[in-house]
Structure 1
């Protein structure tokens, strides 16, 4: 029944398992060989003990075809066969020992091949199935099922096509077809599934939409069974598609009338399109748009009419956030346009489809308002300086200063302050501040203001001393309606002034001996002029408050005086009909000689400044003392008495005689006009000093008369000098 493989040991040494595997299995017996498919046959056989697998063999009787296949159990299927062909089949069992001998052969014929089906859905209620003629097929059987689950129909036909009608739209149907051989054996089957076309979409709605700034028409519909795509087509040739409702037709243009229909699509094709629906797209925006300024803070926005428009909406947005709007069927709207504001202006057209896209947006700026709170002052004769509150919308300001209708100075600046220079002093100017913008020019409706420049600088013509404490100041001044102030300022900062509307005035209250700078200022309602150039002026020195004349000798006097401000030197004079005496001193005193005794003098002093300014000063008169007597004689009298005798200067003079000697002094005074007097109790033989001097009215004795020495002898002798 078999043979041992070379790898096995001697029989007596092998286990039973090895012995069983070393023997080829028995030959199987085929029960049947049946073809269910056109390229395979199923062979049923009796399995044998010890076989691990089986080899199925198919061959043609003429040996032109030979094929083997492996199976592990019964039944087994051998494939790769030709349809409707006779074959001989045998089976061999296999184990570790090898193959058995082939079984007895059995013949079988493969069935007819399956028809090659093609299907279409001409409409949403029919399917057409067609196939090529199957050789040797005498008849065809078919079955029709819905969604491959519910069998609807079956039948036989000798045609090679089926026309199935009365079907539901958008539903998948499966058709199975097989041919029959002449001997009545059914051939291999084939199935094809075909969906019917979808039904026509209904409930179509159109609506205008804005997508990324472009207007379109949103098309919506009710979904239909079996459709996996929808296409909306417009009369303008624009279409859109979507698996779900809605889709948007990007019509692009505004102001159109569109006719739109919807078609549903699936694998079978397209449905019938829906009935066209007309749609007016959103209207176009008005263009151009312009602004008319009506005056009085009112403006009008004007535009041209647009097609398919029911009404218009205008929007006015101010740059401070305030907004206005206007709905109208006309082509204009009025709005309040205040000065100094920027406005964004736009107009939209409206109809039942919606609002137009945004059209031209006007950015209009009204002229700036005229400045308020203007403050003007004149810091100098040729300048007007002004400042004001900035106004909305102004990019710059022009400031005009006008005299006699012609702009004299124009200042152009972005700041809300201006300095007008190079003007004429003491002149009225019409000043206008004009706000300007780069886009709309200047607001020329602002009212001017009249402002005057400060007076022109006067010039001091002359300064002269009026008195020891006042000066006269004269000047040149051409200012109109000006008040003038003359100012005298000393070195210590002391100020003295006088005022006048003319060309001169007197400054009083000055200090003698002081130096002053003199200037003049002109003033009007516009302000003060620049002070004139200063003129220095020196007041004559002060007279000394006190002057004293003291007679030193009969012919010499000492004149002294108090301090005099501003004086450097002094010239003193003593004047009388008998003559005069003078002295010139840098000190506060001087000695004057050659004085005549008994003479009344007029005393005058002239104070002199370092620059030579003089101030004459007059004082009380001075009388020199009486002249000392001459011819003085001393005579001894009886009773130890001495007589003093002299020659008087005048008969009205009073004299006193003083006799001194031996430690004793004796005095005597005669009556008025007398020239002798006696002294008693003198001692003879002594030397006496005798002084005879005039007596002043105040009883003082003139001290500078010279003394005489006399010796008094014994009785009978004459006195001797």
Structure 2
């Protein structure tokens, strides 16, 4: 007889049969299957494994044995297995061949398997922790909806018929797509660089960040970390989305963030002074700017100007002060671009203040001022009808030379530096001393009176003339350009001086060539008739060394006689009779006309 076989497994697919699997026995030609329930038994002869015993009662527990048969007889029964009809054993389910098809977009899975004889319905269980989802179907597939992202599920299938349910199949793992990344942060870690970061996503293997600018250009970044760097331009709005990926697919679309970079710094930045304390700042409009702020820092504080226009005027700047002028651009979305570079400017020097004007000499004026600039050249200008006069210095004074006499000037000062020119100082009036008259004429009117006349001295209002000798002084003060001086001593040398005085009291002292008064007239003039047609003229000489001349003037003629020096008489003959004559005896001089002011005598 052959050896006893050994049962590998036995199960019931249907409610009236049991299927048995065993190991083949050498030399066996047939096998006898026996099913016993205690009340009866059923035997079935089969050629090889597996074999099925039919005609059994449903839902009944049977003892199953196998014997090997050949021409030599039957073997002993194999060790028995207990199998209940009408149920689905775990071994039955291994033929289902479970397959998963995951729909990442809808977050659902389709579970499918090979249909098996004896199963009327199937139930699919999808579990994750305490969460369990079920799907019942009579087909060989089932759709499980409402799965969660970033979750791992375990899927098992149970078969059912009228006799009962099988044990669940061995669980199959299902990992869903990752959830959309959260806690997305966008910042400019430095101008021109965007840093996008997010929290790690469960079951996310890698991430893709998409950045699209408002001009349509799109870039992306693949990374397994939780941050990405992007180049950015000022004044743009970027739309940013982050996706997580794994083998199941792409995460759902999360929030789309927009980030607006700071507006660009103004270009073509120019600062031009329109006056010594006012600067006009202009620039070109830039992308992303809604408002501009011009800031001038220097001196005692900061000056601000805000406008939507691309120009700003800063006034009342401090003189002789350096300023850093910066134009910042603002946007409602991002605020200010604080990386804009300043431009250095310096205001013109401060106006000097004239402290003193003094006369150093004729036509020489010294001007002093308060220096109120560190590095400046000062220019003083005297302006008048006579013209312009200048002097220059880097210190606190300078001298105006060759100013014309008798002129009025307005004196002012300015300061110059590489930054520009100051406003002029307050003007100080300046009057030069009046000019001395160029010409002076002295004419003796009488023996004791002299007439002096002169040309106009520019700038003079009054004049004081003086004739002075050891014997005395004669003086007059007049508004005119002439003067009669009395008390002149005849035959005396005088020094001549004149003071020209301006309306404000400025005086010029003028000196001229000396003046000699005429010789003195003789005294005691007497007339004696010599004959019917002659006359002798006697006089008492004032100076014995002086020569004299006697003149007779009548209607019938003029006659004269001049005696030798030292004589005090002379004769005039051949005088027509019957006429009245005027007799004048005067000293004879080498210069000027004859003197006509000596006393006259009448002779008839």
Q: What TM-score range do you get, normalising by the shorter chain?
A: 0.5 to 0.7
Residue by residue over 1:388-414, the C-alpha shift from the partner in whole angstroms, topping out at 9 and shown as x without a partner, is 5555445453636257xxx84363634
Counterpart CA distance in 2 for 1:341 and 1:680 is: 133
Cα contact 1:378–1:527 (8 A) shared by 2: no
Q: CA deviation at 1:581?
A: 0.9
Counterpart CA distance in 2 for 1:493 and 1:635 is: 68
SS of corresponding position for 1:554:
coil
Which residue number corresponds to residue 364 of structure 1? 259
Which residue number corresponds to residue 182 of structure 2? 287
Match of 2:585 among 667, 692, 696: 692
Q: CA deviation at 1:289?
A: 3.1
Q: CA deviation at 1:361?
A: 2.7
Over 3 Å counting, the alpha-carbon distance change for 1:637 and 1:389 in structure 2 is same
Instruction: Indicate whether 1:539 and 2:432 are aligned.
Output: yes
Instruction: Indicate whether 1:397 and 2:290 are aligned.
Output: no
1:510-589 maps to which residues of 2 (within 5 A)?
510-589=403-482
Counterpart CA distance in 2 for 1:290 and 1:629 is: 131
Over 3 Å counting, the alpha-carbon distance change for 1:598 and 1:328 in structure 2 is same
Counterpart CA distance in 1 for 2:517 and 2:551 is: 22
Cα contact 2:367–2:397 (8 A) shared by 1: yes
1:608-619 maps to which residues of 2 (within 5 A)?
608-619=501-512
Counterpart CA distance in 1 for 2:420 and 2:470 is: 63
Instruction: Indicate whether 1:506 and 2:399 are aligned.
Output: yes
Which residue number corresponds to residue 87 of structure 1? none
Match of 1:626 among 505, 516, 519: 519
Over 3 Å counting, the alpha-carbon distance change for 1:687 and 1:414 in structure 2 is closer
Over 3 Å counting, the alpha-carbon distance change for 1:660 and 1:252 in structure 2 is farther
Q: CA deviation at 1:600?
A: 2.2
Over 3 Å counting, the alpha-carbon distance change for 1:699 and 1:588 in structure 2 is closer
SS of corresponding position for 1:619:
strand
Deviates more, 1:645-654 or 1:553-562: 645-654
Which residue number corresponds to residue 170 of structure 2? none
Instruction: Indicate whether 1:459 and 2:353 are aligned.
Output: yes
Counterpart CA distance in 2 for 1:640 and 1:250 is: 178
- More contact order relative to length (CA 8 Å, sep ≥ 6): 2
Counterpart CA distance in 2 for 1:424 and 1:699 is: 74
Instruction: Indicate whether 1:669 and 2:565 are aligned.
Output: no
Structure 1: give runs of 5+ residues left out of the alignment.
1-204, 210-214, 220-234, 239-248, 259-278, 712-721
Which residue number corresponds to residue 116 of structure 1? none
Instruction: Indicate whether 1:338 and 2:233 are aligned.
Output: yes
Cα contact 1:661–1:689 (8 A) shared by 2: yes
Counterpart CA distance in 1 for 2:386 and 2:438 is: 25
Over 3 Å counting, the alpha-carbon distance change for 1:295 and 1:657 in structure 2 is same
Over 3 Å counting, the alpha-carbon distance change for 1:252 and 1:365 in structure 2 is farther
Counterpart CA distance in 2 for 1:459 and 1:692 is: 72
1:25-424 maps to which residues of 2 (within 5 A)?
285-291=180-186, 293=188, 295=190, 297-303=192-198, 314-319=209-214, 321=215, 323-326=217-220, 328=222, 330=224, 332-348=227-243, 358-371=253-266, 373-376=268-271, 386-389=281-284, 391-394=286-289, 395-397=291-293, 399=295, 401=297, 408-409=301-302, 411=304, 413-414=306-307
Equivalent residues, number: 456
Counterpart CA distance in 1 for 2:567 and 2:145 is: 159
Q: CA deviation at 1:378?
A: 6.8
Structure 1-normalised TM-score?
A: 0.52
Counterpart CA distance in 2 for 1:709 and 1:400 is: 103
Counterpart CA distance in 2 for 1:291 and 1:701 is: 121
Over 3 Å counting, the alpha-carbon distance change for 1:666 and 1:351 in structure 2 is same
Cα contact 1:286–1:347 (8 A) shared by 2: yes
Counterpart CA distance in 1 for 2:578 and 2:221 is: 157
Counterpart CA distance in 2 for 1:252 and 1:606 is: 123
Counterpart CA distance in 2 for 1:250 and 1:533 is: 94
Which residue number corresponds to residue 69 of structure 2? none
Cα contact 1:377–1:526 (8 A) shared by 2: no
Residue by residue over 1:370-429, the C-alpha shift from the partner in whole angstroms, topping out at 9 and shown as x without a partner, is 5555445677888777555555445453636257xxx84363634666677887654445
Over 3 Å counting, the alpha-carbon distance change for 1:402 and 1:535 in structure 2 is closer
Counterpart CA distance in 2 for 1:464 and 1:315 is: 83
Q: CA deviation at 1:301?
A: 3.3
Cα contact 1:629–1:692 (8 A) shared by 2: yes
SS of corresponding position for 2:218:
strand
Cα contact 1:397–1:436 (8 A) shared by 2: yes
Cα contact 1:372–1:389 (8 A) shared by 2: yes
Q: CA deviation at 1:594?
A: 1.3
Which residue number corresponds to residue 600 of structure 2? 707
Which residue number corresponds to residue 488 of structure 1? 382
Structure 2-normalised TM-score?
A: 0.61
Over 3 Å counting, the alpha-carbon distance change for 1:339 and 1:611 in structure 2 is same
Cα contact 1:463–1:474 (8 A) shared by 2: yes
Which residue number corresponds to residue 472 of structure 1? 366
Cα contact 1:409–1:420 (8 A) shared by 2: no
Which residue number corresponds to residue 27 of structure 2? none
Instruction: Indicate whether 1:660 and 2:547 are aligned.
Output: no
Q: CA deviation at 1:326?
A: 2.2
Q: CA deviation at 1:237?
A: 10
Instruction: Indicate whether 1:644 and 2:540 are aligned.
Output: no
Q: CA deviation at 1:251?
A: 7.8
Cα contact 1:488–1:496 (8 A) shared by 2: yes
Q: CA deviation at 1:459?
A: 3.0
Instruction: Indicate whether 1:605 and 2:501 are aligned.
Output: no
Cα contact 1:468–1:511 (8 A) shared by 2: no
Cα contact 1:643–1:678 (8 A) shared by 2: yes
Which residue number corresponds to residue 152 of structure 1? none
Q: CA deviation at 1:366?
A: 3.1
Cα contact 2:150–2:203 (8 A) shared by 1: yes
Deviates more, 1:432-441 or 1:529-538: 432-441
Q: CA deviation at 1:284?
A: 5.7
Cα contact 1:489–1:518 (8 A) shared by 2: yes
Cα contact 1:628–1:692 (8 A) shared by 2: yes
Q: CA deviation at 1:435?
A: 5.0
Counterpart CA distance in 2 for 1:532 and 1:237 is: 99
Which residue number corresponds to residue 131 of structure 1? none
